[in-house]
């Protein structure tokens, strides 16, 4: 059988990869030392020109199912890795059949949870990781996606204004359904709690987090945050006819959580004395879309919120409130954001995404100003941050794999 590549994003260079060699034996000529999570399968990350791909060996039926599912998730705008293609018909030099391969785009500036803790993330960040995982799970459930294997291991994290944004990286057990029952949602939450508890024990055993971290408290936090967010996004609310302001209040609360209301179900009783509202369709990325419309910047929602706040402060400081907001936003972009990004030396640009660097500069400014007793200039802060903080950070765009090779090999078998 000849080698066969089905691809949604054709790259001629993919054909030149050593498909006749088992993935575990690929050399450093192809494999790049980016961190990858623990997996039941052999996974390698390769770079071809300016493109970077994650390649996973698996069974043909499973590979095509996951490939199509990831394409569906991409079409409806859910946070998941982008599928590239499936390679079948692989044989080694002796003619023996090799597993087929699923290809996805590597998510820039993303890290698996183990690499985060290996790079200095402390146990104090666990609530932020939980929040990111919960937001991802709720977004998937709103789209009637059943995950089936919720865990930190099946997620990649990107930094987002001091917090994290989570992306689905393994959809092997997932399923898009016409509707998702409450029982299936609760089962996903239950599985997630069990897996995260085990992953925390693993981190403690490896000395990555303190033994004092209580796994059952983190599990309880997952359950609470999930149900709180789900209820805020979907719960029915009833009030009297003279409280119409509560409709706007509900929408504002959802906007603050980073969600837009695409459709709201409003029902009045027979006399019109009581009103019942329920969000019927919500879409994440409220701040993302606002910032992108104003500046063209495409960043995580938490980063967008922070940048919008700084933009608002800039507009207020220079009394630009009477100007068109898009014009004022462009002044902020060209006079503040872009000049600061040009200050970052080329060798430090792989440390963090530009929006995250800007967020950290704002945090650094607060500390410098508190120490100095007066507000420190933003550009002076940027110079100090770049020299004393950013240059000492690990490179998160290209960094050595911190996973335990023995542990990884055991899982791959």
What is the C-alpha R_g of the chain? 24
Residues 119-141 pLDDT 10s: 767 778 889 999 999 999 999 99
Looking at the chain, the whole-number percentage of residues with pLDDT higher than 70 is 93
How confident is residue 157, by pLDDT bands cut at 50, 70 and 90?
A: very high
How confident is residue 409, by pLDDT bands cut at 50, 70 and 90?
A: very low
Comparing 184-193, 266-275, 355-364, which segment has the lowest mean pLDDT?
266-275
How confident is residue 55, by pLDDT bands cut at 50, 70 and 90?
A: very high
370 pLDDT more than 50: yes
How confident is residue 386, by pLDDT bands cut at 50, 70 and 90?
A: very high
Residues 310-331 pLDDT 10s: 999 999 999 998 889 999 999 9
Bridge partner list, 58: 100
Q: How far is CA 344 from CA 129, 303, 383, in A?
A: 28, 18, 9
How confident is residue 39, by pLDDT bands cut at 50, 70 and 90?
A: low
CB atoms within 10 A of CB 392: 9
How confident is residue 272, by pLDDT bands cut at 50, 70 and 90?
A: low
Q: Which two tokens stand for residue 214?
A: 């209580």
406 pLDDT more than 80: no
pLDDT of 32:
84
Bridge partner list, 48: 51
CB atoms within 10 A of CB 283: 16
Helices 301-317 and 354-372, packing angle to 10 deg: 50
Bridge partner list, 165: 158
Q: In this predicted model, which residue has the larger pLDDT, 412 or 48? A: 48
What mean pLDDT do residues 330-338 have? Answer: 96
Asked if the 111-234 domain carries CATH number 1.10.510, the reply is yes
Q: Give the mean pLDDT of the chain.
A: 88
Q: Residue 390's Cα: distance from chain center in Å?
A: 22
pLDDT of 407:
42
Which CATH number is 4-107 given? 3.30.200
Domain range list for the chain: 4-107, 111-234, 237-284, 287-392
Comparing 203-212, 222-231, 337-346, 374-383, which segment has the lowest mean pLDDT?
203-212
pTM confidence score? 0.84
* CA–CA separation, 48 and 368 (whole Å): 42
HEC readout, the chain: CCCEEEECCCCHHHHHCCCCCCHHHCCCCCECCCCCCCCCCCEEEEEECCEEEEEEEECHHHHHHHHHHHHHHHHCCCCECCEEEEEECCECCCCCECCEEEEEECCCCEECHHHHHHCCCCHHHHHHHHHHHHHHHHHHHHCCEECCCCCCCCEEEEEECCEEEEEECCCCCCEECCCCCHHHHHHHHHHHHHHHHHHHHHHHHCCCCCCCCCHHHHHHHHHHHHHHHHHHHHCCEEEEHHHCHHHHHHHHHHHHCCEEEEEEEEEECCCCCEEEEEEEEEEECHHHHHHHHHHCCCCCHHHHHHHHHHHHHHHHHCCCCCCCHHHHHHHHHHHHHHHHHHHCCHHHCCCCCHHHHHHHHHHHHHHHHHHHCCCCCHHHHHHHHHHHCHHHCCCCCCCCCCCCHHHHHHHHC
* CA–CA separation, 13 and 90 (whole Å): 17
Contact 365, 381 (CB under 8 A): yes
* CA–CA separation, 3 and 97 (whole Å): 11
398 pLDDT more than 80: no
pLDDT of 35:
61
170 pLDDT more than 70: yes
Residues 218-249 pLDDT 10s: 999 999 999 999 999 999 988 887 788 888 88
Q: In this predicted model, which residue has the larger pLDDT, 82 or 2? A: 82
410 pLDDT more than 90: no
Q: Which residue in 46, 69, 41, 68 sits closest to 56, CA to CA?
A: 41
């Amino acid at each position: 059988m000849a080698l066969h590549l089905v691809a949604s994003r054709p790259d001629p260079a993919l054909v030149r990869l050593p498909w006749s060699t088992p993935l575990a034996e690929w050399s450093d000529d192809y494999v790049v030392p980016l961190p990858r999570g623990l997996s039941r399968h052999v996974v390698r990350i390769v770079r071809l020109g300016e493109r970077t791909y994650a390649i996973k060996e698996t069974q043909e039926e499973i590979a095509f199912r996951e490939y199509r599912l990831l394409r569906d998730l991409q079409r409806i705008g859910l946070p998941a890795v982008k599928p590239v293609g499936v390679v079948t018909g692989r044989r080694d030099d002796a003619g023996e059949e090799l597993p087929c391969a699923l290809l996805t785009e590597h998510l820039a500036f993303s890290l698996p949870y183990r690499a985060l803790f290996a790079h200095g993330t402390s146990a104090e960040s666990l609530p932020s990781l939980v929040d990111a995982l919960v937001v991802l799970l709720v977004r998937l459930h709103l789209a009637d996606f059943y995950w089936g294997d919720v865990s930190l291991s099946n997620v990649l994290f990107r930094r987002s204004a001091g917090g994290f944004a989570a992306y689905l990286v393994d959809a092997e057990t997932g399923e898009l359904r016409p509707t998702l029952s409450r029982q299936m949602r609760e089962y996903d939450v239950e599985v997630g709690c069990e897996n995260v508890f085990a992953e925390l024990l693993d981190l403690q055993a490896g000395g990555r987090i303190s033994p004092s971290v209580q796994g059952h408290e983190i599990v309880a936090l997952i359950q609470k945050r999930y149900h709180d967010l789900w209820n805020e996004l979907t719960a029915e609310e009833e009030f009297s006819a003279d409280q119409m302001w509560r409709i706007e209040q509900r929408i504002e609360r959802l906007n603050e959580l980073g969600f837009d209301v695409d459709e709201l179900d409003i029902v009045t009783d027979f006399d019109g004395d009581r009103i019942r509202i329920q969000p019927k369709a919500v879409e994440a990325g409220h701040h993302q879309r606002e910032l992108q419309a104003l500046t063209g910047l495409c960043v995580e929602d938490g980063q967008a919120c922070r940048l919008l706040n700084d933009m608002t402060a800039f507009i207020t400081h220079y009394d630009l409130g009477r100007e068109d907001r898009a014009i004022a936003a462009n002044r902020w972009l060209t006079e503040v954001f872009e000049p600061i990004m040009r200050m970052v030396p080329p060798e430090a640009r792989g440390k963090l995404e530009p929006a995250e660097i800007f967020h950290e500069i704002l945090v650094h400014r607060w500390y410098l100003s508190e120490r100095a007793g007066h507000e420190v200039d933003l550009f002076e802060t940027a110079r100090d941050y770049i020299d004393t903080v950013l240059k000492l950070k690990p490179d998160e765009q290209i960094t050595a794999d911190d996973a335990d090779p023995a542990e990884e090999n055991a899982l791959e078998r």
